[in-house]
Amino acid sequence: MNLSKLFSIKEIDISYSYGTAKADRKKITSSLDAKDIFHSLIEKSIEYKESFLLLVLNNSNEILGIKKISEGGITATIVDIRLIFQTVLKAHGVGFIICHNHPSGKLEPSNADKHLTEKIKEGAQTLDLKLLDHLIITKESAFSFADEGIL
């Protein structure tokens, strides 16, 4: 029996490469900047299925990466917060912004939205990361947890 195989830990291979030159990185200066980026990524499906997205930022609020965490149905999507933190840590992020859309067009956060945001905020604090905002977007508008003072 090969003990090294038996006691080895399975892991995802991690590699780091510069996606864009530092001079070409877009800086996020407001919730509107983030909203525009998220909106462009799910514009075609924004009214018929819910998606949950992640924007990873460095300490200067420059974008390191964007990832779709989940995609669901008309009224919900399942979010595994471990995937959020895995992505932020692998990208050497310091801060991040999360976003999901409401196909119904209603901007008001649900109790589930508020609970998820709080859970992600607590996890981020434990890992010394900054959850900068949670946006809810619709075809016409956006709701920012940070701008509304509830983050």
Please indicate, yes or no, if residue 133 is contained in any of the structural domains.
yes
Please indicate, yes or no, if residue 113 is contained in any of the structural domains.
yes
Q: What mean pLDDT is predicted for residues 80-106?
A: 94
Please indicate, yes or no, if residue 9 is contained in any of the structural domains.
no
Please indicate, yes or no, if residue 95 is contained in any of the structural domains.
yes
Please indicate, yes or no, if residue 7 is contained in any of the structural domains.
no
Domain tally, the chain: 1
Res. 13 pLDDT band, cuts 50 70 90: low
Please indicate, yes or no, if residue 16 is contained in any of the structural domains.
no
Here the CATH number for the domain that contains residue 57 is 3.40.140.10
Range of the domain at 42: 24-144
Output the 3-class SS for the chain.
CCHHHHCCCCCCCCCCCCCCCHHHCCECCCHHHHHHHHHHHHCCCCCCCCEEEEEEECCCCEEEEEEEEEECCCCCCCCCHHHHHHHHHHCCCCEEEEEEECCCCCCCCCHHHHHHHHHHHHHHHHCCCEEEEEEEECCCCEEECCCCCCC
Q: What is the pLDDT of residues 28-74, one digit of tens each?
A: 989 989 999 988 888 788 788 999 999 999 999 999 999 999 999 98
Full-model pTM: 0.84
